[in-house]
Structure 1
Amino acid sequence: MSPGGEYARDSRYLTTRITADGSDGFPVEPGRYRLVVSRACPWASRAVIVRRLLGLEHALPMGIAGPTHDERSWTFDLDPGGRDPVLGIERLQEAYFARDPRYDRGITVPAIIDVPTGQVVTNDFPQITIDMSVEWEPYHRVGAPLLYPPALRAEIDAVNDVVYKDVNNGVYRAGFAGSQESYAKAYRRLFDRLDWLSERLEGSRYLVGDTITEADVRLFTTLVRFDAVYHGHFKCNRLKLAEMPVLWAYARDLFQTPGFGDTVDFDHIKRHYYLVHRDINPTGIVPVGPDLGNWLAPHERASLGGHPFGAGTAPEPVAQEEAVPADHTPLRTAP
């Protein structure tokens, strides 16, 4: 928190990379690493979506932490005995301390763990998904989309930069503001950017080019949490997403695209924010709403042209062991 009450995210990440040439000491090797996520976290959800779209499930196995945590770290309370079945740990903290016993930064997800040593390799969430596209390319599924095509990288990076500052992190700057002035500033900046995005997407199905890219993934993980969490919990309440016609149709289009909505766990999302952030929600009451059935309403975005996977194909259905519980998503509860 700045002296003026503005929220400042701790961005001191472990920036070691897993690369095709192993230049950081960690070469791409299928099965060697474990991606640890929580479905509650928007930053981790990026990695879940990209991994699924690219078909990296077998090359990069995944562990899922529970939706809540305390001051120490995320826990594996969803697994039998409360331990990750591969890493054998109860708390993600253990993998960070295996890397550095004096580690004093955030115990965050997503994190990629080197299974042989039990150490965190990286928690640098913006780079993790880019490297999935570029460094892990030999292990992509047949028909995987180009989420970070070379010809569009400069534009994708530029869009990602403003979306991160004003939207992805903007909702947190509003929600954790320490003064009325800093909250109002973050609020205005957020909705100014959402207006800009609405104008950009009014005549274009996707943010950059005519297929889904890394830019769409990064915006989606904030939009899908907007009405369930950010509108009320973070006081981002000029309008609900469902009251912003262009962005609402765009978000539904992505949600109904294989690889996006089938990774979203609304129960975990709501339990995380409303139970963990007791400074904002001291009662710990988790809202029953909003109604989720409207995520499946027709979006009419296909008329704008483009194809979600370009020359590629949709991913196969989610493996049963990674499926979101049926009562946590409208995709599996709709009649």
Structure 2
Amino acid sequence: MTLCIGVIGTGMIGRDHTRRIQNVIAGAEVTALSDVNRDSARAVQADLAPTAEIFDDGRALIASDLVGAILVCSWGGTHEEYVLAAIEASKPVFCEKPLATTAEGARRIVEAEAKHGTRLVQVGFMRRYDAGYRMLKRAIEEETGAPLMVHAAHRNPAVPEQYVTPMAIHDTLIHEIDVLRWLLDDDYVSAQVVFPRRSPHAHAALADPQIVLLETAKGVRIDVEVFVNCRYGYDIQCEVVGEEGLARLPDPMSVAVRRNAQARNPVLTDWKDRFVESYDIELADFVAAAKCGTASGPSAWDGYVAAVTSDACVKAQETGAVEPIELPTRPALYD
């Protein structure tokens, strides 16, 4: 059986996911496209999905009999509406982060899915599918003993002028928020943000770098350096200190070169290159579950927890205080 997928949002990630479905993943086909910029949808149709029908509206795409599952890759403000519509139509939906732009919006999605009674939503937290993070999780479970501390870093070479201080949480740290919670099998209880000396490459509306301090329910202390103008490359680091040992996320595989009296390893500069295989695996996971009428991987609850945690971190940016992170009881659907 071929899963017929509709893609809402044909910008950079929507185009890339369309390519992935058409050319990389078996068992699925893009049969419908929608974008507020119809020319963008036409370009993706011409390049990647010539038989796909173009819809003027995402809701019409979701309702169409041409579509059995949906990818929501449009701008974040539309995610809640489209995910809720997919749940109402009983169609599996893959939603790129954020699940919603507010924690309240994410909560509404959780409530709708719990009322439906079947998992239909997968959130695009691709790091859970990264080979390095999976090896790190096994090491935590089998080698290091119970985690005590985590030291992590998320570094980008540069960001555009419109990138401002809260985006360091909502657009950048959001991936650490999800993957560290998954690594530790733990929830957060507080957040604090401190600001070192500002990099000269940061503009007036961006405090860069930042250090985010998180505490979990089990007492693990986490520090994450967010440095989005580090200049030298795209660099993701994570080190977990346990009762019996230490485990570190491996760097992406590369060829070490010795030449001209130097030994060097290349550093990636693009996040798409760093996690390209993770994107392939996460969408293959979505396709496999959607064929059975359900969803797998990061859930709507995970998206909601990330939204609540993000809001607390942004508040901590503003206050400088330790801000509590409080969650309601998790619905049984997500146990």
TM-score of the pair, normalised by structure 1: 0.27
Relative to total residues, which structure has the larger strand share, 1 or 2? 2
Rg bigger for which structure?
2
TM-score of the pair, normalised by structure 2: 0.27
